[in-house]
Structure 1
Amino acid sequence: MTVAPFRLGMLIPEFPTQTHAFFWREITALRAAGVEVHVFSTRRPAEDCPHEWAERAASETTYLYPPRLSSALVSPRDFPGMAQALAYIARLSVGAKQKARALGMLACAVDLLHYARERKLDHVHGHSAADAAHVLALCRLLGGPRYSFHLHGDLPVYGTDHGAKAWDATFVAAAARPMQRQLIEDAGLAAERTYTLWMGVDTDRFQPPAKRAEDPRGLHLVSVGRLHLCKGHVHTFSGLRKALDRGLKAHMTVGGRGPHEKEIREAVARFGLEGHVELVGPLGEAAVMELLHRADAFVLSSVGLGEASPVAVMEAMACGVPPVCSIIGGTPDMIEDGTDGLLVAQEDEEGLANAFLRLGQDRALQERMSRAARERAVRTFDYRETSRRLLDAIQESRAPHRQAA
């Protein structure tokens, strides 16, 4: 007797973009495990994705916004749960403008319901705790499949009404332990309905080079991510300036794009780093690996809210590049300070300078941390293991946990 494959919907906002490499890895791993994965997204991304798999990913993605006209014109009599869905929106703790916007999410939820029925989906997992989670909750109220969703940063970044979003979620995952605590303490979820599920990296593909050559320009620092002020580039540049003024030979390559590129370029000039810092724009996976193979340290000095367990740090560690990170989100769980990387307080420019000096002046320390970072990545961050844990969570938590809507 042939057993039908488990059919999983995966809802990812604005997929694919530069920061979505992990999601594609996860989809690939789940399919390799025999899961039939159907990819959905809220809307098409505004910018092109630089990864080599992006065209295929976009072609396999069903976009829910704008919703089909047939979904936008439904009435309460069309679905038994429509009255409950409208009541859900009415009870949201937001203003009239946001509630009107939620009616658009309801039309997207109707679209998702149609697709779920057509494709006989067993479950839908959302990689967001923001509007996408509302779409999942509304779809469930209309009679759609069981669902779960993932919190990828601090709870306040993802809007309000998290208890409503999770009203019948089989579980809510968090990408780091501090976010799991927020789900329990701030959103009021029962602990047994939450998990910490990290993202992951392909440790077979992201590997250290056979030999890492010494750079005649000194310590090579690398940062890859959105060009956003929350990523702390300005603090990194200040720390680098301090270290250079104390005699360190170093230079830095910054990959990525984002809304604050102008301010970040201005900061490079303000600290007199034009000869030491190069901004190279968005990078595909192959280019990221090539850059990491030339790096001595990876820098992420993020500040504020929003950071969880950064995949860019995992990729660096898999390539044997020790990270220098601010203490934010899940970085203290990812990095053992002084063993496989260095941790500094947020906005601590003196601490960043000392970290750069420490690595730049002690090649043996750099090499020990490189080996330890690689070992940690293989042991903890491989995407096949993290994807298996997600699938286990979905399959083990499918007993109902209904709460009042």
Structure 2
Amino acid sequence: MTADAAKPGGSRGIAMLIPEFPGQTHAFFWREIAAMEAAGAPVQIVSTRKPAPEACPHTFREAAVARTTYVFPPDIGRAALFLARRPGAALAALRYVQGLRETPAARRARLVGLIPSAVELVRLCQAQGIDHVHIHSCANAAHLGALAQILGGIDYSLTLHGNLPVYGTDHGSKMARARFVSAVTRPLADEIRSVRADLPAPVIMMGVDTDRFAPAPAPEGARARPFEVVSIARLNPTKGHRFFLRAMAALRDAGGAPVHYTIAGDGPAREAIVAEIAALGLGDQVDLIGSVSEDRVLSLLQGADALALTSIGQGEAAPVAVMEAMACGLPVISSVIGGTPDMVDDGRDGLLVPQEDVEAITAALRQLADDPQYASRIGTAARATALKLFDYRANAARLLAEIRTAQDAG
């Protein structure tokens, strides 16, 4: 940040707080910050704790770590002095934590430990002349925002990236002092309004670099290979890989077109997925390649014929993998989950299927694998949708506008 940005009347700086940044899924945040700064808004990056190096395979990791201030572990002595000089604010912070009645007492006791980290956030903002923190989470990081507002008058806003139950409890307390809470899908905005009907809840999707994530040049001549499907998702039962694997087996058993499936990602369900592949006899049709960099994601998408995301439950909101695939001109087979109905117009720019419905997944896969012209039409429409809805620069500008409005009102 420039010296001018830290002065009253200079370019108003913003702090962006992202838990455990940078991580595997954080390429979007890095792009968003770059877009805001290109628009003239200095951004101070803040995070809770530094993740392990292997948590982020992306090329921007070292640059991101170098730019990020971590508020955990806090300097306890410095925090104690800060709080001793502001006994009223310290007492208000304790009352906030003790007032979290949806949180069990033992958990509230542990949340008291957030107060020193909130002090670190306040000190950073005051030193840099920052009066607004945007927090990309509605979990414990949202409590940090509320505590920083109590301790130092720092305004904050939140983004909800998934269903509220995933992010704990006491959301009313987290949101009570927020200037706004944006949501990445319309259903999530409705969840915010169910907690705080009076709170601005703009829908601002995450975004992708539609210049970089673009269709690969068409190969010369027909490609004599199986229909290539890719999934880019952590290996978690909620991602529903097993349902797509069962659809592949059903298509094979019905004599359908040959399909190859590449699974990028890692996680606790790896052994179960390996066992499912073996049980279905798909060992020669599936590759598990582990976590991959953003560069590798791009090459996978540009070399594939379709993307599959057959997730279940409440774990998805506006999946970035779907956006990236559509930007690359790929037809997507996606569960109806979270905001995917807002992202995909079924039958026009992608194919939506009910959760856990192997028969529907099989039918969608058959449509694409058996009819290259149909798959091509879907992919062309998907690219057009991505340009219209998912470009990260446009969505970062919308978030910046909401933050500026909050600052002006403050």
* Superposition deviation, residue 312 in structure 1: 0.9
SS in 2 for 1:222: strand
Other-structure match for 1:113: 122
Q: State the TM-score, normalized to the length of structure 2.
A: 0.94
Percent identity of paired positions between Structure 1 and Structure 2: 44
Q: Do 2:82 and 2:119's aligned partners in 1 also have CA atoms closer than 8 Å?
A: no
> Cα distance, 1:168 vs. partner?
1.3
Q: Secondary structure at the match of 1:289?
A: helix
Q: Select which of 74, 79, 96 maps to 1:88.
A: 96
| 1:64 paired to 2:71 | yes
Contact 1:147 1:169 in 2 (8 A): yes
Aligned residue number for residue 25 of structure 1: 31
1:75 & 1:118 partners in 2: Cα distance? Answer: 14
What is the identity, as a one-letter code, of the residue corresponding to 2:237?
A: L
Find the aligned partners of 1:25 and 1:77 in 2 and give their Cα distance. 40
The amino acid of 2:161's aligned partner reads: H
Which of the residues 288, 294, 298 maps onto 2:307?
A: 298
Aligned letter for 2:289? V
User: What is the DSSP-based 3-state SS (H/G/I as helix, E as strand, rest coil) of the residue aligned with 1:226?
Assistant: coil
Q: Distance in 2 between matches of 1:92 and 1:313?
A: 36
- Corresponding position: 1:217 with 2:225: yes
CA deviations over 1:199-225 (Å, ceiling 9, x no partner): 000001111011157543321100001
Alignment of 1:206-355 (within 5 A): 206-212=213-219, 214-247=222-255, 248-355=257-364
Q: 1:87/1:373 Cα in 2 relative to 1: closer, same or farther (>3 Å)?
A: same
Instruction: Work out whether residues 224 and 256 of structure 1, in 8 Å CA contact, stay in contact via their aligned partners in 2.
Output: yes
Letter in 2 for 1:359: L
Give 1:12 shift: 0.4
Q: Is 1:73 matched with 2:96? A: no
Structure 2 CA distance, aligned partners of 1:183 and 1:337? 27
CA-to-aligned-CA distance 1:322-359 (integer Å, 9 cap, x gap): 11000000000000000110000011111111110000
- Contact 2:175–2:196 (CA under 8 A) maintained in structure 1: no
Output the amino acid matched with 1:21.
A
Letter in 2 for 1:306: G
How far off is 1:73 after superposition?
A: 3.0
- Give the Cα separation in 1 of the matches to 2:112 and 2:40: 36
CA deviations on 1:134-168 (whole Å, 9 max, x unpaired) are 00000000123211011100010000111101111
Judged with a 3 Å threshold, the aligned counterparts in structure 2 of structure 1 residues 212 and 155 are, in CA distance, closer, same or farther, namely farther
Aligned partners of 1:72 and 1:242: how far apart in 2? 60
1:134 is aligned with what amino acid? H
Deviations 1:284-317 (CA, angstroms, capped at 9, x unpaired): 1111111111111100011011210011110000
| C-alpha separation in 2, matches of 1:212 and 1:35 | 42
Unaligned runs of 5+ in 1: none
| Counterpart Cα distance in 2 of 1:17 and 1:61 | 13
**Letter in structure 1 aligned against 2:65:** A
The equivalences for 1:116-155 within 5 A come to 116-155=125-164
Compute the RMSD of aligned alpha carbons: 1.6
Q: Which amino acid aligns with 1:111?
A: E
Residue type of the alignment partner of 1:239: A
Q: 1:170, 1:400 within 8 Å by CA — same for their partners in 2? A: no
Identify if the C-alpha distance between structure 1 residues 215 and 233 changes in structure 2 by more than 3 Å, giving closer, same or farther.
Answer: farther
- Which of 380, 394, 397 pairs up with 1:388? 397
Q: Is the alpha carbon distance of 1:212 and 1:227 closer, same or farther for their aligned partners in structure 2, counting shifts above 3 Å?
A: farther
Structure 1 CA distance for aligned equivalents of residues 155 and 38 of structure 2: 23
Q: Which moved more, 1:93-102 or 1:305-314?
A: 93-102
Q: Distance in 2 between matches of 1:89 and 1:76?
A: 15
SS of residue paired to 1:273: coil
Aligned match for 1:356, one of 358, 365, 371:
365
> Normalized against structure 1, the TM-score is what?
0.95
How far apart, CA to CA, are the structure 1 residues paired with 2:344 and 2:105? 44
Question: Counterpart of 2:108 in structure 1: which amino acid?
Answer: K
Partner of 1:44: 50
SS of alignment partner, residue 195 of structure 1: coil
After alignment, is 243-252 or 63-72 more displaced? Answer: 63-72
**Residues 387 and 250 from structure 1, CA distance in 2 versus in 1: closer, same or farther, beyond 3 angstroms?**
same
1:375 aligns with 2:384: yes
C-alpha distance in structure 2 between counterparts of 1:267 and 1:106, whole Å: 46
Q: Tell me, what secondary structure is at the counterpart of 2:55?
A: coil
Specify the code of the residue in structure 2 equivalent to 1:176.
T
Aligned residue identity for 1:145? I
For 1:150-165, list aligned pairs within 5 A.
150-165=159-174
Q: Aligned partners of 1:76 and 1:86: how far apart in 2? A: 11
Is 1:101 matched with 2:107? Answer: no
Displacement of 1:71: 4.4
108-117 or 75-84, which deviates more: 75-84
SS of 1:235's partner is helix
Residue type of the partner of 1:48? Answer: A
- Deviation of 1:6 (Å): 2.0
- Which letter maps to 1:240? M
Superposed displacement of residue 397, structure 1:
3.0
